Structure formats: structure tokens, C-alpha cells
Amino acid sequence: MTPTPPDELERGLRELTAWVEPAPQLWKAALRAADATRARSGRIWTLRPSRRQFDVALVGVVALLFVAVLTSLLTPSLSRAREFASPKRHPVATENLGLAQEMVARRPFISPSTGNAEDARRNAPARLGDRWFASADGLAAAERSVAKSDQSPSEGDNRQVIRKATIELAAADVRAAYLKAALLISEAQGEYVQDLALTGTGRQTQANLTLRVAAARLPQVLDALRGLGTVRAEQASGEDVTDQVIDLDARLRNDQRVETELLKLLESRKDAPLKEILELRDKLADVRRTIEQLTAQRERIGRLVALATVLVLIRAEDAPATAQPGIGAYFLSAIAKAWIAALRVLADTVAYLLTLAVGGAIWWALLATLLVVLVRRLRASRGGA
């Protein structure tokens, strides 16, 4: 077999390895694949933030949380500070002011130009009944005085006058003046304490007494009351009831005469028909009822005439005016007040810091955890760079 020449062999190999189709252009395909990979990596970047963006977001969250904690802790303290700084009335002062307003509404000031004793008596505070202070001897004497006043008065020389007086005092010791005023009565003359009341403490103490004294002793009792304190207001009045007494006495005598005649008629007509006897008895009962009513009115007026009514109002004296301190005392007082205020501010600051530290312990722990995480991430990012 004849060996193949090298030239032919090389030519045959070239023919076998030659590409007879159009050129494939692989470099373009490689470029397209590279572009597609780059596009996919860009989309992933937009969806997944970098480490730096995450750190910035974490810092923002920590800052917002810190501000929220400070706000929640500072708001109660500021509210208490505003409440402490706002002026408010002392509860005792408020209570005393309400009591004063109530007393003014219930009982106006008694002076010679306003009101009278009867109005003051009606508006006085609730008092005890007179049965506690009127003894049997005193009432008996009062009845004797009424019996004397039952006699028919003559015009001009025996006027029937109901006397009333009101006196308002200012005393340094209200209780002492109150007790002394209650002891001015004379039970031997039928006098007694009708009403009394003692209320309040300190400079808010006030006393109200209604004394029933003999009309002849009214000037003497008023003089004794003036010595118990400073007179702020005084009033005296008299009501002439002579005409009422004369009218009552006349009506009473007339009804008594009618009653006597009816009794005589009833005695003389025992054999009269039953109907007439019953009618006569009914008429007699009506006359007796009228006599009793007139007698009660006459006795009431007699008691009012025999015993004058004295309303005593005792209040505490006004607080004495304090002298103005000198410049040296004022300077020392201002320094002392400033020192006390500074100590209070220091105490409030320490208390506030303690409240902030203890009350926000959970939030402080959370903030510390977030800061640790943030620092670690920053260090890791720097190490990776």
C-alpha cells in the first residue's frame, strides 16, 4: 500500500474540520447573556436594600423610639408642674368662703338702716329649743308678768309696746362673750334664753343668741352686751299694740257675757225640747271656743309686751394688720425663700431623674438592645469593606 503524502493528509483533515454553514457569531450570544445577568442583578438590588440602607433605617427607628419614650415620660411631669404652678384656693378657704356666702344669703347684715330684729331672728342659724333654758320658776314669773299686763290699760299712761333689739358685736374671744351673754338673764324675773347657736372654729367662730328679758331691764342688758366687745351694729324697735289689747279685751268681755247668758238660759229651760237644748249647747260651744282663742291671743301679746326680745350676733374680730418689715428683714426673707425654692427645684430634679430611670427601665433596655445591634452591623459593614 502506497503511503499518503503529508500534503494530501493535511488537506483531507482541513476538509473534514472546515465549517460549511454560515458563521455562528458566538460573541453576540455571549454579550446578550452578560446583559441579561446584569439586568437581573439590578432588579435584585432594587428589591433588596444594601447594608447601609438598613443601618440608616435602624438609626431612624431608634431615634423615633427614643423621642416617644421621652414624650411619654415627660408629659405626666409637665402636667403636674402646670397643676402645681396654677393658682388654686385652699380647701379651708374655699369652705369658709362658701359658708360666708351661705350666711350672707340666709341673714343679711343688721344695721340701723337695713332689716330688723324679727328678720334677723328668722334668718339666724338653727338653734336649740327654749325648753332647755326656761325653768319652771322663770315661766311662772313670766305668767305673773302676763297676768299683770292683762289689766285693761288706760290711754296715755300704760301703753302696751312690744320691744325688740338687735346688736352685733366683734369680740376677741367669741366663746367667752357667748357664755357671758347667756348669763345676763334673770330667771327670777321670768327671763330666759330662747335660742342660741355657736359654730365655727378660730376666726370663723360665730355665735347667735336670742334673749327674752324684762322690758324694764332692756337698757341695762344692752349696756352689758356693749361691754362684751366692739359694737358693729345696733338696732332697737318698738311696736305699739295697745289698740289690739283693748280690742281683744272688749271682745273677750263681750263673749264672756254671752256665755254667762247662755248658761243661765240653759239652766232655766231644762224642760225645753231636746232640739232646742242641743242648739243651745252648740251655740255655747262656739262661744267657748271663741273665748279660748281670744284668751290665747291676749296671753301671747302679754308675753311679748312683758319680755323684750334681744338678738345678739357675735363675730370674731378682724385680724390685726401686720407691720411692714424693714429692708434688712425683707432681704433675709427673700434669701431664705430663694434658698428653699432652689432646694425644692433640686429635689424635684432628682425625683424626676429617678422616675425617668426607673419608670422607663423597659424602654431603656429596648433602646440599648437596638443600639448594640446597630453598632455591630456598622462594625460588620466596615470589616466587609
CB neighbour list of residue 104: distance below 8 Å, 6 or more residues apart: none
pLDDT at 5: 67
Dist. CA 75–CA 80, nearest whole Å: 9
Q: Is residue 1 domain-resident? A: no
Per-residue exposure over 117-146, b if at least 16 CB sit within 10 Å of its own CB, e if not: beebbeebeebeeeeebbeeebeebbeebb
Residue 329 included in any domain: no
Is 58 a member of any domain? no
The rounded average pLDDT for each run of 10 residues, N- to C-terminus, in the chain (385 residues) is: 67 72 64 68 50 66 69 59 46 43 41 38 37 38 45 58 92 90 89 90 88 92 92 91 90 91 85 84 90 91 90 86 74 89 91 84 83 82 68
Cell of 258: 254671752
Report the pLDDT value the prediction gives residue 315, as an integer from 0 to 100.
Answer: 92
Q: Note every long-range contact of 357-365, with CB atoms under 8 Å and residues 24 or more positions apart, other chains counting.
A: 359/73, 360/69, 360/72, 360/73, 363/65, 363/69, 364/69
Residue 39 is predicted with a pLDDT of 59
Instruction: Tell me whether residue 330 is in a domain.
Output: no
Q: Is residue 54 part of a domain?
A: no
Please give the pLDDT value at position 280: 85
Number of structural domains (the chain) is 1
Find the farthest-apart pair of alpha carbons in the chain and give their distance in angstroms, rounded.
205
Q: What is the pLDDT of residue 262?
A: 87
Res 308: pLDDT:
92
Single-letter code of the amino acid located at 9 = L
pLDDT at 46: 47
* DSSP 8-state class, residue 321: P
Whether the CB-CB separation of 371 and 62 falls below 8 Å is answered with: yes
* Phi, psi angle pair for 43, to nearest 5°: -65, -40
For residue 274, being part of any structural domain is answered with yes
Tell whether 236 is covered by a domain.
Answer: yes
Does residue 230 form part of some domain? yes
Are 257 and 293 in contact, with CB atoms under 8 Å apart?
A: no
pLDDT of residue 38: 64
Residue 263 is part of which domain span?
94-316
